[in-house]
Every structure is written in structure tokens, then in C-alpha cells.
Structure 1
Amino acid sequence: MAVLTGKTRGGADWTPTFAESIDPEKCIGCGRCYKACSRQVLGPMDIEDEENYSTRMVMSIVAPDNCIGCAGCGVTCPKKCFTFTTLEI
């Protein structure tokens, strides 16, 4: 199998990396990735912290099929919460 690749405007090879998961333990819910994504791939999710009897917001991948593989979300993430994958064709 081959990996999906494309070309940049300048003609360089480019391999899209698609958002696969977000580590909820690292995520601080800052929303930077949410603002960076123009494809509405991400959305907030509440996580219950039973130890502290509180709730905190983290980001989650709500529409993975909308991802175009730009990795802008991961570039803006201050905690490096994202895992990316390539697409085999």
C-alpha cells in the first residue's frame, strides 16, 4: 500500500497528517486547536474528575471525516496532545 501524498503550490511533495486522537490527560482545554481548525473537526468535551469532584473541558475529535491533514491543530497545541496518522491508499 502507498501513503497518500500531494504537492504544495511550489511543487514540493507533501504528506497530509490527519488528527487521530487527543490525549485528555495532557489537554488543558485552551481552545487554540479549535480556533486553528477551519474544518470543524474539533469540539469541546467535559471530563469528570472524580478525585477532585470537578469537571474540566478538553478538546475532542468530533468530525474526523472533515480533517484535511494540515496538522494546524497540533502546531498550535502548547501541550502537544495530538497524535497524527497518514492515510494509506
Structure 2
Amino acid sequence: MWMIELGFTPAPERLAARPAHREVLSGLHSRGVVRMAGPFADDSGAVIIVDAQDRGAVDAILTADPYFSTTGVTVVHIREWHPFLR
């Protein structure tokens, strides 16, 4: 699994792009690719947990969703994660 941490600014572009981004994540969730996703309580960023085979697969997800290159969205960290509880 992989953990993607995002950082946000209040840019209007980000807020305008968010509904389409959430649709993409919902589709990936229904296929079991995105396990969890959501913003921090203060809306300063978000975490997305992805079940992907390798970093290349994670990068493909990021490339396919224009939200990740939208003004006001920064990919802060991408880390491989080995949960022991699921």
C-alpha cells in the first residue's frame, strides 16, 4: 500500500476541481484501489491510501487525475506503507 499526503491552499482552482477529483477517487475506491481518502480536519491537506503494486502504479494514478497538478494542491509525500491491521 501507499500513502499519499497532500498539502492545500485556499486557491479557487483547487476548490473548483475538487468535485471531479472526488468522483475519480470514488471510482478507484469501488475497484479497491483507493482504500481511504479524506482531508485533514483543518482542510490544510489530505491523505489518500492506495493499494497499488508499485510506485509506477501510484504515479499513473496521480497523472490520470488533473487535481494533483491543480493550483493549490501539492503532493507533499508519497510513502510505501506496510499496515499490519486491515
TM norm structure 1? 0.37
| Structure holding more helix per residue | 2
Greater relative CO, 1 or 2 (CA 8 Å, sep 6+): 2
> Who wins on radius of gyration, i.e. which is larger?
1
